[in-house]
């Protein structure tokens, strides 16, 4: 774990729970793509950089989930590096309380205010920015989170952030987090048609062929949507649907899973309503969802 792996002339990744990209822009200067989950990850990253004699110029955050920005503060304080992020994700990186607040839909209780959902804050420059390295291509990958991006290096290596999960993860956890289902499906189609020498998704193995995995992820999304529609033959509330999902998929509910899976299912319900497969109405002061025949 935290092994440096070279995948191009000047492109590397650090193998860890959320893979961290490294692009060497000169003999001494490097850019990171994400920073790991916490201060401890930041220390391990800095040790690798120090051993190679590399200076950290900047961190490029693909999105603001805590496991991708958790090392920001430590590395920024230690090295003075810049940090780049895009759009809403830049705001979430500056103000990490926004993530558990968004997931919960109100002020999050203590059970949600921890490093897995709320990283330490860091100073961020918004993309696009004049100091961003022009040799790195920013690829819009919305869907999993608000303004998620990927990065293509001049070595034709593409870092895909969280737009794909492995077959093992999908078969085990069943419902990966998605913010915008329509946007996510569009991103999967884009990824399916991408060409690169190496693709590096954050949570599965690097590969030269991403098409099959992108198709597998897309089919999982569509299967979950079909299940949700099937559970709405009669008018049902969100909480009934959520319990059904946990029961049918063999999941165990706790506060963290309640907000992560719950937020995802709300996103599915919105998409299914917008696409004419479900209707939402109010009955006896309850919001209920029903399949449109």
Cis upstream peptide for 4 (omega within 30°): no
Q: What is the phi/psi pair of residue 69, to 5°?
A: -120, 5
pLDDT at 1: 83
Among residues 72, 105, 131, which one ends one of the domains?
131
Terminus-to-terminus CA distance in the chain, angstroms?
Answer: 51
- 231 neighbors 241 (Cβ within 8 angstroms): yes
SS3 label, residue 5: strand
Question: What is the extent of the structural domain holding 10?
Answer: 3-131
93 has pLDDT over 90:
yes
The confidence band for 167, taking pLDDT boundaries of 50, 70 and 90, is very high
- 180 neighbors 142 (Cβ within 8 angstroms): yes
Could you tell me if residue 252 is inside a domain?
A: yes
293 has pLDDT over 90:
no
The structure tokens 């999993």 sit at 144
* 157-161 vs 198-201, strand pairing mode: parallel
Compute the average pLDDT of residues 259-267: 98
Total number of domains constituting the chain: 2
Residue 24 sits in a domain whose CATH number is 3.60.15.10
Among residues 115, 131, 147, which one ends one of the domains?
131
The confidence band for 227, taking pLDDT boundaries of 50, 70 and 90, is very high
Other Cβ atoms within 10 Å of 28 Cβ, number: 11
- Average pLDDT value for the chain: 97
What span, in angstroms and rounded, lies between the C-alpha atoms of 66 and 115? 7
Is this prediction's pTM over 0.85? yes
Residue 249 sits in a domain whose CATH number is 1.10.10.10
């Amino acid at each position: 774990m935290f092994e440096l792996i070279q995948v191009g002339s000047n492109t590397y990744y650090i193998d860890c729970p959320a893979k961290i990209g490294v692009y060497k822009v000169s003999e001494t200067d490097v850019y990171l793509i994400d920073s790991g989950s916490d201060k401890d990850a930041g220390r391990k990253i800095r040790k690798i950089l120090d051993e190679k004699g590399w200076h950290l110029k900047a961190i490029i955050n693909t999105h603001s989930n805590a496991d991708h920005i958790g090392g920001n503060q430590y590395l920024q304080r230690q090295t003075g590096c810049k940090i780049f992020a895009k759009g809403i994700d830049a705001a979430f990186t500056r103000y990490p309380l926004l993530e558990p607040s968004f997931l919960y839909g109100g002020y999050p209780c203590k059970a949600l205010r921890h490093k897995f959902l709320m990283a330490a804050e860091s100073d961020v420059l918004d993309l696009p920015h004049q100091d961003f390295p022009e040799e790195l291509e920013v690829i819009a990958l919305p869907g999993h989170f608000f303004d998620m991006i990927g990065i293509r290096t001049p070595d034709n290596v593409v870092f895909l952030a969280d737009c794909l999960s492995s077959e093992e993860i999908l078969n085990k956890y069943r419902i990966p987090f998605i913010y915008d289902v329509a946007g996510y499906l569009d991103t999967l189609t884009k990824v399916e048609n991408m060409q690169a020498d190496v693709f590096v998704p954050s949570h599965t193995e690097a590969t030269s062929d991403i098409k099959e995995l992108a198709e597998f992820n897309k089919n999982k999304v569509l299967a979950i949507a079909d299940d949700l529609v099937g559970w709405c033959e009669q008018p049902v509330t969100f909480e009934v649907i959520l319990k059904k999902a946990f029961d049918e998929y063999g999941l165990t509910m706790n506060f963290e899973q309640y907000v992560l899976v719950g937020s995802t299912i709300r996103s599915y319900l919105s998409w299914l309503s917008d696409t004419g497969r479900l209707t939402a109405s109010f009955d006896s002061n309850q919001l209920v969802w029903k399949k449109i025949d």
